[in-house]
Amino acid sequence: MTEEFVVAHLRERLTEGGAIPIPDYTQPAIAEIVDSFGRETVTTVGRSDWNEVRPVLRDARRTLVLLDREFYVDGVEHPLGEDILRDLVRERSPNVYVVLLTRSVGDDTEHLRAQLAERLDISLQDFAVAGKTAAEDEDGTERRLCESFQILFTAQVCIDLARRIYDVAKGTVDSTVLALADQSVYDLDRAVFQNSLTEGASELDVLVRIFLLRQRVAVDSELGSSEEYFRLLSRLRALRTFAGPLVSTTHGDPAVLAQWRRDEVVDPGERVNAVHSPLTCGDVFVRANSSKVFVLLGQPCDMVVRPDGSRNTHEAIFVKAERQRAETIGSAHCFFSIPALPIADGDQWRLDLRTWASVNLRLLDFAVFSGSGAVRLDLSVQPPVSLLPGWRKMLERARARIAAQEDLPSEYAALSLSEDLQQTRASRRDAVVSLPYERVGRLRAPWAVAAYAAFASYQTRAAFSHDFAKLPQQS
């Protein structure tokens, strides 16, 4: 290590009857550990000396504490090291790093670490655990300690950076609210309301964009103006270069991180439909009582509904989505891989760019009106208050057209003329017009735009003349 550390190795294993034999680090192994840090920088502390040393640690330079978990008092083993660990972590000294040594753990320490954090009510990232049972291989002791250091430093660097980003982002939210309050009401009306509604966008989306923009700028400026963060990252990168990535044979899938990744790729139907979010490129539809899944693709600007209820097109594309086997990811140019869709049982999907159909947006608009994602229009229900002005006018126009005729008007009669789609005829029962399709979510940018670009590129591929001089292939 490039930093000089003071290592406090707390050991007290003597009883009235003398030393207790333990299948623990051998004395040569302990000596080797001490020597690796530099013997002049190492202080060995017994349990009886701990109260004298503890205040010194608060003001010490960077200190690595190798702490025994198990102590023997009157011949009985006690986990007194846990009490010391709790006290050290709760004092939150910025320069103290704690590794708890215990025999009750093998090579995989994460489970015990989580249990200790919960039981002692301390932060998981503030300590590491290492097994101290004599290793079978020659380098086992050093490997375990190195891994515990890497676990500790990885957790602390990540959380320290996250906390700093949080502080900056939180402060930026407050300052952005104050800055908006200082703006002229005419500027607010133009930026938040007039310009967004003219483009068929939500005022809430504009405010969210402003907050995210200010946070990003503030975090970039903060991190860019301080070398402290980059020094931390540089040390951790050097450690990772030496030790490699952390690997566990028992640690399960990171459910929280996986869910965050899905949220980055797709919005589920309950978030999209409840607010009557406008139809757009990337919306995901399923056909009722079937496993068929389709992604709606089209030029986003042409699909936008303007304040007068008009838009540039009433047709878009349904492209078939299918589950993708791991071995076929990226295997063919006629497919577009998607990391996730808001569909249960599997996250790896792909669009089959060869299987598509032109669809009628006037019918799919009903998924926006219904609030549940169902392609269903109830003529007796009043327009939702959250509809944008252009969509409200479109709804009123559809209700008037359908109510004025006994049969469905032609523009609302069918989803598509394609033979690849089924159940494309809309049905009418009393005041309800429906189609057995449902919007179940949305593919977010840039995935939606990339999918549309991939579809457009595939459809415009060049067709070359065949090779009339080609000879039969030899078997």
Contacts of 163 (CB under 8 A, 6+ apart): none
Residue 302 host element (H or E): helix 300-303
For residue 155, list its beta bridge partners: none
Strands of 103-222, DSSP E: 127-131
The answer to whether 360 and 414 have CB atoms below 8 angstroms apart is yes
d(Cα 376, Cα 364) in Å, to the nearest integer? 9
pLDDT given at position 355: 93
Q: Which CATH architecture has domain 6-134?
A: 3-Layer(aba) Sandwich (3.40)
Residue showing tokens 């005022």: 203
Q: Tell me: the pLDDT tens digits for 411-434?
A: 999 999 888 888 889 999 989 999
Q: In whole angstroms, give the CA distance from residue 193 to residue 202.
A: 8
Of the candidates 115, 54, 50, 53, the residue with the CA atom closest to the CA atom of residue 90: 54
Q: Which pLDDT tens digits describe the chain residue by residue (475 residues)?
A: 333 343 444 443 333 333 334 446 666 777 777 777 776 677 777 777 777 777 777 666 778 888 888 776 666 667 888 888 888 888 777 678 888 888 766 656 788 888 889 999 988 888 888 877 655 555 666 777 788 888 888 888 888 889 889 999 999 999 999 999 999 999 999 999 999 999 988 999 999 999 999 999 999 998 888 888 888 888 888 888 888 888 877 777 778 888 898 999 999 999 999 999 999 999 999 998 888 999 999 999 999 999 999 999 999 999 999 988 765 555 578 999 998 888 876 668 999 999 999 999 999 999 999 999 999 999 988 889 999 999 999 999 999 999 998 889 999 999 998 888 888 899 999 899 999 999 999 999 999 999 999 999 999 988 889 888 988 887 6
Render pLDDT for 57-82 as a digit per residue (tens, 0 to 9): 766 677 888 888 877 666 666 788 88
Residue among 277, 417, 282, 281 nearest 359 (CA): 417
Query: Which part of the chain is CATH 3.40.50?
Result: 6-134
